Structure 1
Amino acid sequence: MKKSLSIFTMVLFVLTGTIKLNGQTVTKTSLKTSQTTTFNSAEKIPFNPEVKKGVLSNGLTYYIKNNGKPENKVELRLVVKAGSILEDEDQRGLAHFMEHMNFNGTKNFKKNELVDYLQSIGVKFGAHLNAYTSFDETVYMLPIPSDDPEKLEKGFQILEDWAHNALLTEKDIDEERGVVLEEFRLGQGADERMMQNYLPKLMYGSKYAERLPIGTKENLENFDYESLRSYYKDWYRPDLMAVIAVGDIDVETLEKKIKSHFGGIENPKSPKPREIFYVPNHNETFVAIETDKEASFSQVRVLFKDESNSKEDETLEEFRHSIVESLFSQMINNRLDELRNSENPPFVYGYSFHGGTWADTKDAYQSFAMTSPDGQLKALKVLLEENERVKKYGFGQGEFERAKKDLIARLEKSFKDKDKTESNRVLGEYIRNFLVNEPMPGIEWEYNFHKEQLPTIKLDEVNQLISDYIKDTNRVVVLTGPDKEDIKKVTEKEVRDLLETVKNEDIKPYEDKEVASSLITNLPPKGSIVKETQNNKLGTTTLTLSNGATVTYKKTDFKNDEILFDAFSFGGSSLYSDEDYLETVFANNGLTDAGVNGFSKVDLGKMMSGKIVSVRPRVGGITEEISGSSTPKDFEELFQLTHLYFTALNKDEKAFASYINKQKAFIGNMLSSPQFYFQDQYSKFVYGANPRYSGFPTPEKLDQANYDLAYQKYKERFANAGDFNFYFVGNIDENKIKEYSEKYLANLPSTGKEETYKKTNFRPLSGSHTKIVEKGTDPKSSVRIVYQGETTYDEKEDYALSSLGEILTIKLIEKLREEEGGVYGVGARGNINKIPYGWYSFSISFPCGPENVEKLKNAAIAEVEKIVANGPTEEDLAKVKEAQLLERKEDLKENRFWLRLLKNADYEDKDANKILEYEKTVTNLSKSDIQNVAKKYLTKGYILGIHNPEK
């Protein structure tokens, strides 16, 4: 069950907004009458003709779409237009509690029967079966097979039970209190404490300031049963519900299921009005400055809330205006990104947009930055200045044209893949259409409308937006960060003085420098393909190039507009001396910030406008690698950038300094977080004896990073392309991949040598050990149980140990969560590595209350010992097998799966053809296989890591 939005997640959610259109949250401001349009501006936005929308006589809304990806699967959603905002005072947290109860006893699925049944058909609890509760809605998610009538019927029965058949027995309610309280415990911490203080200013005068979905500890512990039943009775009713069904099955069948299961549900005779809650305006500027000793990050945000309440697009003119807003967001964020990549970056990350807040009814223009602990005022000043710069001078024509290219490129990619989009990725807009009446004309209409209207949009239309956004009223400034003696706390007076200073500042216009149009200026003569082989079983082709490199590709039709790429050769930093490794380990990730072929990172971004392509090189522990992706249209640029990262990586001290400054700002106070601190101390305990152990990247270590040496080593590692293996999967033009391989890869430098990696003599800690770390004030602990050690790699054992992790996860959820009520989430996972040496690892981890650490640790170990003694049950083994087979069925139609498979076959020297035997491998997995690996690997002691609060 998905946790109600965590405090940190909700903060980011507020700032990024709900994606409503082309990656942007778009909301309406006053429309300009001077726009030139080529349509009837009052005409309504059409509804996607590929989606069937209907309303039953009882008011329930439904959406249905036939969608063939993935095959033989349907995604079901029950959406309830009710969340924590509707709770009475005695119901604080009960909207979310009700979500939990729907998994704990309904008319047709008694407690635990629901999860047990779904696991038996391959649906995993948490990973597939899930739900979330927010302020204004509760959404249940259920993916089920669509090729089995009985399973389809059961799926709709589950959805119906959630809608009106929850049992809500006193016993079930009391047993679930512990689980929800553990979820409440997880949300506690610095972010939550600071938010409780600034939220009343951010959502001033509204109920949103006092109705966080998780509720209060006191109410969760003590609420009356009738309070929960009353919430369910009042708000779970057909006129506030939508059922969504999208998948590989005909529309008529799905519509019949919806009508038969939901048509007979009745609304209350005297239904409570579903009130809409608003956020009052305020003339004054609110400033909230919150600090906490355990805060990990420093952040700045300024919100200019709209005077009017938000309203979704209805007409073509309004939709066109949303395109104008998208262009504005693209351009302001391009400028902020340039500043982020400057020599002395004012922030680690910054962005601005106009869109949603926590309240569906209030939008705002919002600017956000993540900063160094002592850089908040500087970051706030830059955000305000950039807004004022746009207000004073507007954007330039070059920026405007690049933004239009980027916008249409993203839409074109979505349009081309519209028939290859997974069902679970199209549901969001249906949910928002029901909840807030967001338009859903369909990607084909959107793409064509953008193509038609983008040429008619004038730069002035975009430039005038900010005058609507920025004002002195309805303004809120929020600063959050660490409370440390060596960091001077920002005062409210400093913030208010800064607001006035920027308003009267002499701000210069933005300078947009022209960039080249060609990535490569001097290209060596092309090489050649000296050998070509096919693997007809897998549908792959391998090209051997004249410099010794190999290119393996698989042409697929899984996506129309996607090509994925990966490459590696052995060696990596394992070939460095210990001293060189330690000097370069914190510098390596900053090397590419310099750009390539004389073009800076900012220049490259501008040059790539309208192109969807990315390439990422890296020096790893035992390999040097380069990976990326592109559309078929931008395939050549993928090869060009790859060629340049081998041959023409820039060396730029200023760019590297910028990277180091951002890293220092980002991690500067991270160890104040009890959770990060525990991870650091545990890692040091297990790996600290390694002469190459580098530990957490402190500011001091970052200052000592040797850029010159890291650059030199990078050039060495990428000097020999001849022992690289390149892999491409996607909608590939076979003539082009051969042409580009000769033109950009076969002519890369080669020494003719084939390197391998160097094994270290160090091995991590294994056997029986305990590490207890005490850090933090909140009453929250975490437990980590790790079995690990050296072994001889065996493929069958690797699969069995991984399956054991899935089986044990089922048992731990049953025991620690459902029976003990002591955890919110728990998991186990295992694997055996072959490279660089045989090593097994099996871990169990969970958070809990400090008072329950010993009890739950013993309970987890007891579950391990049961499997060691008796093996798993046939029922649990069957559940895991069914889930594995269903997942593999979907994997086989995913480009990323095939890319990973082809690469790993060479990386681990395995036979890729064995993928064709997977079903047989799963079928043959036995109880004794699981028991044998449990006996072999889980009886040699374990490392116990415990994080407790300070006493």
Structure 2
Amino acid sequence: MKESCLTGMLNRRLQELTENANPPFVGAGFYFSEMYSRTKSALQGYALVGEDGIELGLRTLLEENNRIAKHGFTQGELERYKLDYLKRMEQAFNERDKTESEALVEEYKRNFFTNEAIPGIEFEYNFVKKHLANITIEDINALAAGVISEKNRVIMVSGPEKENITSLDKTAILAVAEAADNAELKPYEDQLASAQLLDNLPVAGTIVKETKIESIDAVELTLSNGVTVLLKPTSFKNDEIKVTGFAWGGASVADDSDHFSSMHADGIVSESGLGNFSKSDLTKLLAGKTAYAATSIGTYSQSISANCRPADLETMMQLMYLNFTNPRVDEESFQAYINKNRSLYKNLAQEPTQYFYDKFNRIRAQNHPRGNYLPKDEDWDKVDFQRSLDFYRNLYSNAGDFTFVFVGAFEVNNIKPAIAQYLGALPSTDKSLTYNDLNIRPPKGHLVENVYKGTDPKSLAILSFHKEMAYNDKDAFLLNQLATLLNRKYYEILREEMSGVYGVRTSASLNKVPYEYASMNILIPCSPDNVDSLVAAAIGQIKLIQMEGVEQKDVEKSREIYKREKEKKLETNGYWLGALKNCYVYERDFETVSSFRAMDDITSEEIQRVANEYISVDDYLQVVLYPEKNEP
């Protein structure tokens, strides 16, 4: 518990530093963990920096360690972290009868490999409740002084080999460490005073319509400001409520000149905070609570995601309200966002796989200026703070465009007052937004493009199929089943029989936005020498299904997998949240969420029909990554 308190508080200080206009690193953190042996543990830290930030990042990491060793933590920091520590244990205890199997497996593994005790969550929760309160600030500061020392310290610096990057040699690293050890360090100032998210409650709206949806045991509400809310109580988790809200529009409604400002508006708001509180202020203010809300702006829609435990419902609703009505205006946070991402993406673009995916996206979109690509260094200069903020406010100015879905541990009558108080108080206008079709289309015909990047002897091939087709639910389901079946076939043929790949990923969908079309992508990681034969085998399997359909054993296997996976999904809040949202997006009947009737549509004839109607083996994009030495 003491180690967790030390690293938890230290990491929060490091997070605060990333909010500076010129942050010393993109991200950083400390943790206690095994070091080269399961029987040896050490305090380990890392910092992710830009190409020209190695020295500053290393020095800041060392100085923050030394600041703690010299001055320690504050009482306020410890009290807040204790609240969060106890909250996590309480959540685990409350879900003790619904713990995921994966979590139990990990406990058994640690018990076997490191002799970690597994007394059970009831014992652990009671133990923490009894002893956490007795841990003092003196205990943590003494632990910090004991483990943070220049006498038992190893420093490693790693990065890509590039001409314009000057790494630090041993002499330079030791000089940075010496400077950090000799720096005059002031104690940390814990500045947040006691406060609350909202000074005054907003004027509540009203529920003007309530509809019971018997097929899924849910209730749909219409609020006085035009907001639609679907409430689906569940008992899958004892301490979980999940929320999504969405509306059409997204970055597509921005002018071309505001493309970059619109694409980053949500990230800038997330970095800046809400109301009068910075991002780190919110972390402090929400100590001991489980409540989260954040917005997201895609190309064709804007959304908000939120979650909480039932006890913190009011806090979550207030965060949702603030995301709509009062994003924080802070230019320093804007500069922090730009500078961190500039460093991050500059490095990311040099990684061969990321470079390849960016090239693929550019080829598929025919270099459309509104495409979604890895930003170049000069693109960050095109993001305007005020234009981003104005665009964000415009997108979230009319809550009447939004549909919200609530799923989890609540009772409808108990949650309705909070819905009216906060969602009913959101602003609405008569002007409704919808998305604009930006006319981003892939090239027609069979096009083959090769990309050369990196030195490792490995390739990645993407086969991308696209066809403009009218949307219908049945074929959307069957197209997805075709992709699932192909995945199994490719595993058998490309991996087991040809020994050419570790795994192939096939995905397919029928889409309605921004226009109606079918798409399927096949990803084949392999050796450069095997690209042609594996691509031919992948296309050959599609042709075989188009000509002969699939064997009955494959039909039965598909039905069995579908039934088993859906039975499992139906016991999770996440599935219900996404499926109910999609009922609005695709205008589906709510009963399809829990129905198994689609399983009967899985037949050899139907899979064959869909393969022929939606996939053309003479019209697809093939893009392949090769190592640089293969470039002609």
Contact 1:515 1:603 in 2 (8 A): no
Distance 1:904 1:354, change over 3 A: same
Match among 9, 30, 54 for residue 352 of structure 1: 30
Q: Which residue of 1 aligns with 2:590?
A: 912
Please identify the structure whose Cα radius of gyration is greater.
1
Partners of 2:203 and 2:615 in 1: CA distance? 57
Partners of 1:361 and 1:589 in 2: CA distance? 41
Shift of 1:778: 1.7
Distance 1:348 1:824, change over 3 A: same
Match among 384, 387, 390 for residue 709 of structure 1: 387
Contact 1:767 1:789 in 2 (8 A): no
Please tell me whether residue 934 in structure 1 is matched to residue 611 in structure 2.
yes
Match among 122, 129, 139 for residue 451 of structure 1: 129
Q: 1:670-692: CA deviations, max 9, x gaps?
A: 22222122111111111134241
Shift of 1:473: 4.0
TM-score by length of 1: 0.65
Partners of 2:485 and 2:424 in 1: CA distance? 47
Q: Which residue of 2 aligns with 1:397?
A: 75
Partners of 1:502 and 1:836 in 2: CA distance? 54
**How many residues were matched structurally?**
628
Q: Which residue of 1 aligns with 2:198?
A: 520
Distance 1:353 1:506, change over 3 A: same
Match among 495, 515, 522 for residue 173 of structure 2: 495
Please tell me whether residue 857 in structure 1 is matched to residue 520 in structure 2.
no
Match among 753, 767, 788 for residue 466 of structure 2: 788
Match among 29, 51, 54 for residue 376 of structure 1: 54
Shift of 1:753: 4.0
5+ long unaligned stretches in structure 2: none
Q: 1:340-378: CA deviations, max 9, x gaps?
A: 222221111111122212321221111111111111111
Partners of 1:383 and 1:891 in 2: CA distance? 43
Match among 407, 423, 430 for residue 745 of structure 1: 423
Contact 1:373 1:482 in 2 (8 A): no
| SS class of match (2:252) | helix
| SS class of match (1:530) | strand
Partners of 1:584 and 1:646 in 2: CA distance? 16
Match among 565, 569, 576 for residue 887 of structure 1: 565
Q: Which residue of 2 aligns with 1:530?
A: 208
Contact 1:548 1:752 in 2 (8 A): no
Contact 2:580 2:590 in 1 (8 A): yes
Please tell me whether residue 773 in structure 1 is matched to residue 451 in structure 2.
yes
**What is the identity, as a one-letter code, of the residue corresponding to 2:395?**
R
Q: Which has the higher helix share?
A: 2
Equivalent residues in 2 for 1:290-369 (5 A)?
A: 323-369=1-47
Partners of 2:162 and 2:574 in 1: CA distance? 45
Please tell me whether residue 925 in structure 1 is matched to residue 602 in structure 2.
yes
Q: 1:480-500: CA deviations, max 9, x gaps?
A: 112222222222111111222
Equivalent residues in 2 for 1:800-815 (5 A)?
A: 800-815=478-493
**What is the identity, as a one-letter code, of the residue corresponding to 1:616?**
A
**What is the identity, as a one-letter code, of the residue corresponding to 1:590?**
I
| SS class of match (2:173) | helix
Q: Which residue of 1 aligns with 2:296?
A: 618
Partners of 2:28 and 2:439 in 1: CA distance? 44
Contact 1:586 1:702 in 2 (8 A): no
Contact 1:767 1:787 in 2 (8 A): no
| SS class of match (1:328) | helix
Partners of 1:503 and 1:326 in 2: CA distance? 25
Partners of 1:452 and 1:436 in 2: CA distance? 25
Partners of 2:454 and 2:410 in 1: CA distance? 53
Partners of 2:430 and 2:413 in 1: CA distance? 27
| SS class of match (1:481) | coil
Partners of 1:596 and 1:815 in 2: CA distance? 53
Distance 1:516 1:733, change over 3 A: farther
Contact 2:265 2:391 in 1 (8 A): no
Partners of 1:689 and 1:677 in 2: CA distance? 15
Q: Which residue of 2 aligns with 1:17?
A: none
**What is the identity, as a one-letter code, of the residue corresponding to 2:615?**
L
Distance 1:567 1:574, change over 3 A: same
Q: 1:697-747: CA deviations, max 9, x gaps?
A: 122111221121111011111111122111110001433421111111111
Partners of 2:245 and 2:372 in 1: CA distance? 26
Contact 1:766 1:789 in 2 (8 A): no
**What is the identity, as a one-letter code, of the residue corresponding to 1:907?**
V
Partners of 1:801 and 1:908 in 2: CA distance? 16
Q: 1:402-460: CA deviations, max 9, x gaps?
A: 01001000111111011011222211111211222101111111111111112211111
Shift of 1:587: 4.5
Match among 469, 475, 481 for residue 797 of structure 1: 475
Equivalent residues in 2 for 1:69-468 (5 A)?
A: 323-468=1-146
Partners of 2:338 and 2:439 in 1: CA distance? 31
Contact 2:479 2:508 in 1 (8 A): yes
Q: 1:892-924: CA deviations, max 9, x gaps?
A: 11101111111111122221222343x221123
Q: 1:237-285: CA deviations, max 9, x gaps?
A: xxxxxxxxxxxxxxxxxxxxxxxxxxxxxxxxxxxxxxxxxxxxxxxxx
Partners of 1:688 and 1:588 in 2: CA distance? 26
Q: Which residue of 2 aligns with 1:834?
A: 512
Q: Which residue of 2 aligns with 1:36?
A: none
Runs of 4+ in structure 1 off by over 4 angstroms are: none
Partners of 2:594 and 2:355 in 1: CA distance? 45
Shift of 1:380: 1.0
Equivalent residues in 2 for 1:491-890 (5 A)?
A: 491-693=169-371, 695-890=373-568
Q: Which residue of 1 aligns with 2:576?
A: 898
Shift of 1:519: 0.2
**What is the identity, as a one-letter code, of the residue corresponding to 1:921?**
A
| SS class of match (1:341) | coil
Match among 475, 485, 508 for residue 153 of structure 2: 475
Q: 1:166-218: CA deviations, max 9, x gaps?
A: xxxxxxxxxxxxxxxxxxxxxxxxxxxxxxxxxxxxxxxxxxxxxxxxxxxxx
Contact 1:611 1:634 in 2 (8 A): yes
**What is the identity, as a one-letter code, of the residue corresponding to 1:861?**
I
Distance 1:694 1:902, change over 3 A: closer
Partners of 1:697 and 1:736 in 2: CA distance? 46
Q: 1:736-780: CA deviations, max 9, x gaps?
A: 421111111111111134432222334222431111112222211
Contact 1:782 1:845 in 2 (8 A): yes
TM-score by length of 2: 0.97
5+ long unaligned stretches in structure 1: 1-322
Shift of 1:514: 2.5
Identity level (%): 38
Distance 1:731 1:791, change over 3 A: same
**What is the identity, as a one-letter code, of the residue corresponding to 2:203?**
P
Distance 1:516 1:471, change over 3 A: closer
Shift of 1:474: 4.2
Contact 2:39 2:114 in 1 (8 A): no
**What is the identity, as a one-letter code, of the residue corresponding to 1:932?**
R
| SS class of match (2:158) | strand
Contact 2:570 2:594 in 1 (8 A): no
